[in-house]
Amino acid sequence: MLTARLPFTALLVSVLLAIPMLFGRVQANELDYWTFQEYMEAFPEQRHLANEFAARVRQPALPWHHASAVPVRIAMLTPDVQISDYWLRNRLSLTRRLQEMGLPYTLQNFSFHPATSIRQQEALLAQALRSRPDYLIFTLNALRHRVLVDKIIARGHPKLILMNITTPLKSWQENQPFFYVGFDHKEGTRLLTDAITRLTGPQTNYLMLYGSQGYVSQARGDEFIRLTSHRPGFVQRQAFYTDIDRARASQAVQQALTAHPDINLVYACTTDVALGAADGLQALGKRHSVLLNGWGGGSAELEAMARGELDLTVMRMNDDNGVAMAEAIRLDQEGKANRLPLVYSGDFAVVDRHTPADRLERLKAHAFRYSQ
């Protein structure tokens, strides 16, 4: 039952059946990007650079031997006001890798919620640019970000690192950002979908819980819909955008399962959404009768899985991204930017409630090796 204090209609945009797919097609056409694999196939020389760079990321830092009179100036503008610790851990791993190699730097961080208005984000961006950074770390989740990124690319300075995206935009042609870094959302979704399929029965009626409208929801949510559309027994009952809000996700679950009691899978696109879904299932007394996934495998998800609140997740080797950004900056400072791939995508592992404790500890030791 929804309360007057938190009215359902004011909080959630219900997207029934075909509408999420329609939005996904519009988003894909307007952004017009290569997938990570398409880009590697279109530019084979990039695959060689990417493989060499990935090996560099996995290895310990080499000491910095160059004289640096002025520290490298870095500004980060990231949507880290959420339960997921992905952004925080990447900031920690970036700074600690730079410290380990001994490269002098300064860092200014500007935080916002994923649903923050474009006007507020533009104000934060202006504030970040006033510090005249050498490198700006930002993201590209929605068309609204494209406006901001276009302005930075047109300026030619600072050098732009786009975080949490591994799909270069075709329309930028040769005038690309300095570096794309993240975890291939579609590859993570493919791994997660295969694992979910192994855990479900012959009939899977699912609720799709998106985060906010944009690229991440498309690559994680719409991609799951596409991958399961040809698998027998998978039926989407309902879908909601939640703006990555835990309370909204909980209400969406309660609303959907009341209307469709045969739902036996809730597919969550983000950590905050997954934890909100767990709250909703708990309120209905259905936590152990409905399969629920996380996405990302950060601390909050792994702790929830240990408590029996999540069944499985696709775990990013999180600190790979921060290390990759530090190594990209280093190569550039050494005059070796030609050894840097345009795109770096980190590694994944699927874990569930039955993953042996020793394997999980090994994965955590690597994934959080700088951000513990």
Per-residue pLDDT of the chain (372 residues; tens, 9 = 90+): 232 222 332 333 333 223 333 333 334 444 588 999 999 999 999 999 999 999 999 999 999 988 766 899 999 998 888 888 999 999 999 999 999 999 999 999 998 887 778 788 888 888 998 989 999 999 876 556 677 788 788 888 999 999 999 999 998 888 899 999 999 999 999 999 999 999 999 999 999 999 998 889 999 999 999 999 999 999 999 999 999 999 999 999 999 999 999 999 999 999 999 999 999 999 999 999 999 999 999 999 999 999 999 999 999 999 999 999 999 999 999 999 999 999 999 999 999 999 999 999 999 999 999 998
Element (H, E) at 288: none
CATH: 3.20.20.70, 3.40.50.2300, 3.90.1300.10, 3.20.20.370. Which one for 8-28+186-295? 3.40.50.2300
* Residue 202 to residue 231: CA distance in whole angstroms: 10
Given a contact cutoff of 8 angstroms between Cβ atoms, the answer to whether 176 and 206 are in contact is no
Three-class SS of 19-88: HHHHHHHHHHHHHCECCHHHHHHHCHHHHHHHHHHHHHHHCCCCCCCCCCCCCEEEEEEECCCCCCCHHH
**How far is it, in rounded angstroms, from Cα 335 to Cα 331?**
6
Instruction: Judge whether 122 and 148 are in contact, CB under 8 Å.
Output: yes
What residue spans define the domains of the chain? 8-28+186-295, 34-183+318-346
34-183+318-346 to CATH, choices 3.30.565.10, 1.10.3210.10, 3.40.50.2300, 3.40.50.300: 3.40.50.2300
Are 265 and 200 contacting, i.e. CB atoms less than 8 angstroms apart? yes
Same fold, 8-28+186-295 and 34-183+318-346: yes
Tell me the whole-structure pTM to 2 decimals.
0.86
